[in-house]
A and B are shown apart, each in its own frame.
Chain A
Amino acid sequence: MFQRIVALSSAIEGVVTPSRIQGVTPDRVAVRRWVLAHAEVFGILGILVIAGVAHGVNMLHFPYFETDEGTYMSQAWSFVTEGQLAPYTYWYDHAPLGWIQIALWAILTGGFYTFGSAVESGRVLMLVIQLTSTFLVYRIARNVTDSILAAAIASLTFSLCAYGIYYHRRVLLDNLATVWMLASLSLLLEKRLKLGRVWLSGVALGISILSKELTVFVMPCFAYLAFFRSHRAQRWFATAGWVLIVGSIVSGYFLMALLKGELFPTGTWLGGTNPHVSLLGTLLFQADRGRDAGLLSLQSGFWITARQWASVEPFLVVGGSACAILTLLAFRRNRAIALVGASTLALWAFLARGGIVIGFYLVPLLPMLALCDGIVIATVIRWGTAWLDSHGTRGLAVRAVVSTVVLATSVALLLPGYDNQQLGFHSDHLVLWNNVQADAQQQSLNWVLGHLPRSSRIIIDDYMWTDLHDPANGSPGYPYAHWHWKVDLDPAIRNGVFRGNWRNIDYVITTPQMISDVKTGHLTLVGKAIAHSTVIAHFDTGGWPIDVRKVTKSAS
């Protein structure tokens, strides 16, 4: 449809600007023609600007810096400065490629403090990732349906949904895994598939899996996509190579553990007898976490969280999932579309496996749901307006209007997300751009750097770990500032640094998350320290209060 608009405009031009009109310089005509021919490029740029503004404005102030963000930044810092995978004992909770990429970003941008504190520098990377992901979503939808409407719906709903902006701003491994997964998919959907592209797609998916493991679930769908999209003569080279590449990259994680002697758990035949962390041990531990019936029981953690998601983002969660199922019907007609839907359902299958489902787990699914929405809606509109083809210019105009209305409606359907009580949207719908709750964390960090002696024994939330251990201005750090989880659960810290006694703790810098973790995680040492402390400084700039507490070590 789009090419016909361009051709039509050129034809109209030819009619309304006859050569006898003076003053119409040929340059203006040429420019106009060039702009129209490249209108799609401008459209994409427009979408990226919208996405960039929605994500980027106020991104360093809201949402608050979560513990995990600090953890990943500290691990990236440790990789760069100490050559280790984590400042504390790396226990294979996640494959390390995610924070290795953050480390590379830090090296590329000249350190961890180029954009402010460590987490803030990480958040700038998240902006770059978000723009890339939005572009890839556009491209995927465009290639698989040949429809600009599909691409526009998919990319705009992906970039403007409230839940998405909230979590995309955060330094999460899911964001890294998502962008690489989208890159892998995009490469497989190129118009002309070359062998090198297919294998590059394998590399991208391998990186994605090692950034966050859950994307391994799309492997069968993507492998099949590689198989039937490649030309018959190159099919087996392409697919076998793709599978081996993904497998090789993932095997690197296991190889590393093997070389460190940390693949098999202590006590097993190959694991040795001295206590050590192990990859397989952690895998088993995580598989057991929050074990319940998953998909099969409506009271499971999965369904509770899923219902929550559905109520705040109905267009994407309910609509997208329904569209994913609908795409399967297109299996015979357009297999690529069906495989996009199948990949979406594969990721849902992971969430529904019957294990723990945390609030931000929807992040890798968001672009896939947006894609399914865009693809199905655009296809339906195309069928519905096919009869307009024979109505010339008027039909074209009607079609354009209908597409615009549909696009606007799709974006409007994201509004319920801006009422999300859990994420803080209920009281202020524009909280994403108004609230500056993370400032309190910045202020508390500066206060600590200015007031507390460097040798203090402090329990901190991990968001300030890097900034305290390696301050931005080059001054000596706080070698005894430790993350609350490690204080209680890592023997090297609990016994080595604090000798199991709360009296050895000087300060505790609490966040609502720490207080909640103390209760749910039964962190007794930290809990005692908090109970015996008084607040000496308080910061609250938007609903995430930070207390700097001094531990009173009286005999009681």
Chain B
Amino acid sequence: MALTTFVFVVLSLILFGQSLFSIYLMVYSWEQPERLAASSGPQSFLPPRLSFSVLLPARHEEKVIFETIRSVVESDYPKSLLEVVVICHEDDAATIYEARRAMRDLGATNVHLETFACGPISKPHGLNVGFQRTSGDVITIFDAEDDIDSSIFNVVNTVMQEEEVGIVQAGVQLMNFRDHWFGIHNVLEYYFWFKSRLHYYAGVGVVPLAGNTVFVRADLLNRVGGWDDYCLTEDADIGIRLSALGEPIRVVYDSQHVTREETPESVGALIRQRTRWHQGFLQVLRKKTWRELPTVGQRLLAFFTLSQPLFQALLTLLWPLSIAAGLWLKLPMSLTMASFLPLYALAFQFLITMVGAFSFTGEYRERVPLLLPITMLVTFLPYQWILGLSSVRAVYRELRRETDWEKTTHVGAHRRVGEMVTPAGTLSPVSQSVDRSR
């Protein structure tokens, strides 16, 4: 009995400590006004000097690839300093067709299509293939469903020159918080991650990069040897490896210049996406490249972050047990009170999330739905359960070495109606079925 008590109390305290740390990261940027100012991008731009190569890996993205290529081509940067490499697997006829159509219709000479037939059908392998084809100073990645800001290249061009950094992670933001019940929490996750949490990581010098809107100097990519073909989260992996080089990584979150994305279209899709991310983290943890980070603090942070899925899986499985223990174990009053600490931390975390929701809607000038606080309250815990379930699933899959890529489908839900209208007169069988769910 004493062992159960001990485990129960220790678990409560660990949960509490972890919640406190998470809250600290969530409000990291807001802690001091200077930090908030430093988290955003430059107000004025330097003249374009760096050349950018955009890698656009795509698989079954025929619905959205045209618009994405167009937004890159039509961005506010000299064409001579910009090239786009679209990467597809040879058997992905629909996406290849759409890509070729874009190259033809937009008259873009700086867009190339790379196809590959051998090797694993994964995003990192596609990136590696595309990387061979590039000639720019800075390599960047965009996903096929991304809604890119037209000034993003100017932002990165300025930041890289002014601050002399070789790696810039710019902000990615989910926008469609009204479409699904989990939408607002998903959106806020990204908001807190790119606006606050990632800046802490950058300060420590360990940055798990995102899969897109990341800009890396070509020579640095060569030094780390490109991406890991078999990793499910090749972005986090390369982030750790680049951090191990000791290179400073700058994180920029500017609501004017974020890349807009959409939430997964269903709970199932969300779970699959999270399972992949969690499993990827476990893969990177296993690889032990994080051991090459220079300082102990960095290794600790990397270990802590990469092992989160394990942690979360454990807590998700033990959670019902701990409730039962709380009700039936006869603990002295002080220990019972201690076991309530995680609950208090959770309530505080919810409050921060709520304030964040208003901060987000204010920053993006979105209308706040009347019942938002209530819907958030009701959906808060279910969302945490979904994340927990994904981590359990990830641990299970990783233990059984199931490493196939469960892809999320994209429908362009974050793009506003009007942007999706294809040029009049072009009737392609695919474009007519474009989803205009916005």
Contacts and interface: CB of A to CB of B under 8 A. Distances in A.
B97 interface: no
Contacts, number: 51
A196 interface: yes
Contact of B340 (A233, A237, A255, A260): A255
A236 B355 contact: yes
A408 to B, nearest CB: 42
B358 interface: yes
A256 B334 CA distance: 9
Interface of B: 27, 30-33, 36, 332-334, 336-337, 340, 344, 347-348, 351-352, 354-355, 358-359
A207 to B, nearest CB: 15
B412 to A, nearest CB: 33
A255 B334 CA distance: 12
12 contacts: A83-B334, A195-B30, A195-B32, A234-B27, A237-B30, A240-B351, A241-B348, A241-B355, A248-B347, A248-B348, A255-B340, A259-B333
B13 to A, nearest CB: 16
Nearest to B356: A237
Nearest to A84: B333
Contacts of B348: 241, 244-245, 248
Interface centre among A192, A231, A234, A252 (most CB of B within 10 A): A234
Interface string A257-287: 0011000000000000000000000000000
B333 A194 contact: no
A4 B350 CA distance: 50
B27 A195 contact: yes
Contact of B355 (A192, A237, A248): A237
Contacts of B337: 252, 255-256, 259
A241 B31 contact: no
Contacts of B334: 83
B32 A236 contact: no
Contact of B30 (A192, A233, A252): A233
Nearest to A234: B30
- Is the contact region of chain B dominated by helix, strand, or loop, or is it mixed? helix
A83 B352 CA distance: 36
A38 to B, nearest CB: 27
Contacts of B30: 195, 233-234, 237
B27 A236 contact: no
Contact of A236 (B340, B347, B359): B359
A256 B333 contact: yes
B355 A240 contact: yes
A244 B31 contact: no
Nearest to A192: B32
Given A241-B355, A252-B340, 16 more contacts: A83-B332, A192-B32, A195-B31, A231-B33, A233-B36, A234-B33, A237-B355, A240-B355, A241-B27, A241-B348, A241-B352, A248-B344, A248-B348, A256-B337, A259-B333, A260-B333
Given A83-B332, A194-B31, A259-B336, A237 B352 contact: yes
A236 B360 CA distance: 13
Interface in A500-556: none
Contacts of A194: 31-32
Nearest to B26: A237
Contacts of A234: 27, 30-31, 33, 36
Nearest to B37: A233
Nearest to A248: B344
Contacts of A256: 333, 337
Contact of A233 (B33, B332, B336, B344): B33
A471 to B, nearest CB: 27
Contact of B31 (A196, A245, A252, A255): A196
A248 to B, nearest CB: 5
Contacts of B359: 236
A241 B334 CA distance: 25
B31 to A, nearest CB: 4
A259 B332 CA distance: 11
B431 to A, nearest CB: 43
Contacts of A83: 332, 334
Contacts of B358: 236
A237 B28 CA distance: 11
A260 B336 CA distance: 11
A476 B336 CA distance: 33
A196 B332 CA distance: 32
Given A236-B358, A252-B337, A241 B33 contact: no
Given A194-B31, A231-B33, A234-B33, A244 B333 contact: no
Contacts of A196: 31
Contacts of A244: 347-348, 351
Nearest to A259: B336
Nearest to A196: B31
A404 to B, nearest CB: 39
A203 to B, nearest CB: 12
A196 B27 CA distance: 9
- A-B CB proximity, top 7 nearest: A231-B33, A234-B30, A195-B31, A236-B355, A248-B344, A233-B36, A237-B30
Interface in A215-242: 231, 233-234, 236-237, 240-241
B28 to A, nearest CB: 9
A206 B224 CA distance: 52
